[in-house]
Structure 1
Amino acid sequence: MEAISERPLTRRRTLRGLGGAGAVGALWLTGCATAPTTSAQQTASSAAASSASPVAETGIKDLAVGEDPVVRTSMTTAWLKPGQGRGWTDEPVIKADARPDQWLSRMDVAQQRGLLGRTDTQAALGSRVTVRELSGDWVKVSFLDQAAPNDHGHQTSWVPRAHVVRDLGFLSAQTADGAQVVRVTADSTGVFDGEGMEQTLVVVPFDTRLPLLEQGEKASKILLPNEREGWIASADVAVGQPALGTVEQVFETARSFDGTPYLWGGISPFGIDCSGFTYTVLRSHGILLPRDAGPQLNHSGLPKVSADDLTPGDLLFYSLVPGGEKIRHVALYLGKGHGIHAPFVGRPVCIETLQEINIKRDYAGAVRPRYAEA
């Protein structure tokens, strides 16, 4: 993982209601020194570091079928077949140290549409996968936090082999009893190479989750794959796994994606598709759905509700043709006849009336996630 220095890091906005917010851009202009920690913080940091210490074999091991490596780059993009990248256009997400934040700017609308039938999903730095097949510079993996109704039980597709690493120490830190994690609550933020936060190692998107080593007032020390450590702005992360969110908190996060560009297979503010939107927003509030729209309707285990009994927070689904069973789209119902969704290539996340969302008259049903009481 090489240091990044070619341009300032920017964010469109801060995602609210998730326990963290901050202006990351300022770090590139002035740097950010870590304030002295209190004795209570030092105690907490020591406990976190202790719990994150490897409890089993450590070190970098060769990839092998059936083993569980982790994503080692900012975000990996998964492809339905190996080697489907289109040269310069897809180079930002094919190269070893992927830059998904630079990808969409290289594509016109036709090239974005060309991703249909090529890409499948994405996964952020530190995400666990299981190796299914190795083929040259590519590896077929199952994404362990993206459920799917297939033989593996998880979304399964191809990523560049350089994007994953079998780091046993990192895996131990993720799974140790009492291990602490940080979750990115900003659109994106930088991970820096030292406490002075002057050189950026990697840009990570919303809801990236990494083991916490030390918690500070202004910056926190985290563990990275490939036996590396980094520092991240404490204002841009929350500590711990997400608690079950209220419907109001989910709406706040969903609305913060308003204007996010559509990207087939996307799951972040760098670019997102319809089911990636509902998957990511609800996951950030402790509600884990299958990755794709059809399974979200038919394999999520959530209760189905009728069209005349909708309540705010329900997920609305649409088929390929009126009355069809194959699901093509999902939206989040906000109430009062409006929903928020990622419409299609060329149209960003937006709030529309249900009549506008259902323009093809292909409404196919709804399910009701369980939210925390307000």
Structure 2
Amino acid sequence: MLSQSQQIFERIKKSGRILISFGRNWDSDALASALALYLFLRQLGKNVTLTAEKKLNAEKLCAFLPSCNAIENTIKNRRQFVISLKTDKAKVGQVKYVKNDNALDFIITPKEGFFSPTDVSARAGDYGYDLIIIAGTPDIEALGGIYTANPEFFYQVPVVNIDCHSANEEYGQINLVDITAVATAEIVFNLLCDYDRSVIDEDIATCLLFGLIAETRNFKTQNITPQSLSVASQLMAMGGRREEIANRLYRSRPLAVLKLWGRILARLNEAVSGKLVWSVLTRADFEKTGAGEDDIAEAIDELIISLPEAKTVIIFYETASAESTQMIISAVKNINVLMLAKEYAPIGSASLATAGSPLPLAEAEKEVIAAIKDKMEKMPI
């Protein structure tokens, strides 16, 4: 019987066009793992596309990673549409087409004989891809619009699911899920080593090292294992650019982001003996600092590093109308954010998700904190 790694490589070998995707929240580990797989498949000469729901923000800390600008935010060439014309009674002389406002007309001039409407038929052809690889994404709905706009595509094309989260729903035909790994990047490293260590060049090593460093907050989280440290050491020996990664992730911050962090710190609250930490942001905070909603996740990372006793961190912020509230929730590995905040329809991964409340900021903060505090007090943490 083939191992999971062997099954994956057999599927890759037989595939002509491969799609790689990851969650809509741009989790750093998932992104880095997807990029490493993309670079690996390009080395093999495969026709591969990398896609995610959101477009890359050039100011994102991950924007320096190799091939990050190759990420597309739509799936193109999903499926062919085939129009057939019987030629047993007539021969084709010339084919033209004319595009009108709402129609595409094909004009076929016979060389001899005649065509009739019954000679024409149409059918759905093959899908534009014959394999999908999804990295660091616990459930397929977490892909966001990439999935919801193309559900049939994901059900008809084989899926390889690679992840480290215990909440993974094993939605693929092949599920390489290892909950003992601290990051999906660690799993991808082992997968590529099973193929041939020599394929891990400096760019692939940098992507995987980025995923490990981001997921472990520069090796400061409590779930670090000897195996993950060994993987990091090997990646650096293979050319992984740790200094550049550290500079990008932890030593380079725009002034607007630092101002936003200051407002978050000024309103910091805690409960459950410091295991639950949260803060709030108004629309005025974004306007006055010049920072955006995408900058909040970085602040959460810093809080988790600075407050090792914190198990769950929540940042509440007003929507544009100020009539409802959004929140970003992050948790350590043994707490599943998707279950912790399930009443608020969270979208993301088990460790980082966004959610919403129809209530104004102050009311939402009060309700959500009460609910999550109650759950965390019952947890063995």
RCO higher in 1 or 2 (8 Å CA, sep ≥ 6)? 1
Q: From the CA coordinates, give the structure whose radius of gyration is larger.
A: 2
- TM-score, normalising length: structure 1: 0.27
Name the structure where helix makes up a greater proportion of residues.
Answer: 2
TM-score under structure 2 normalisation?
0.27
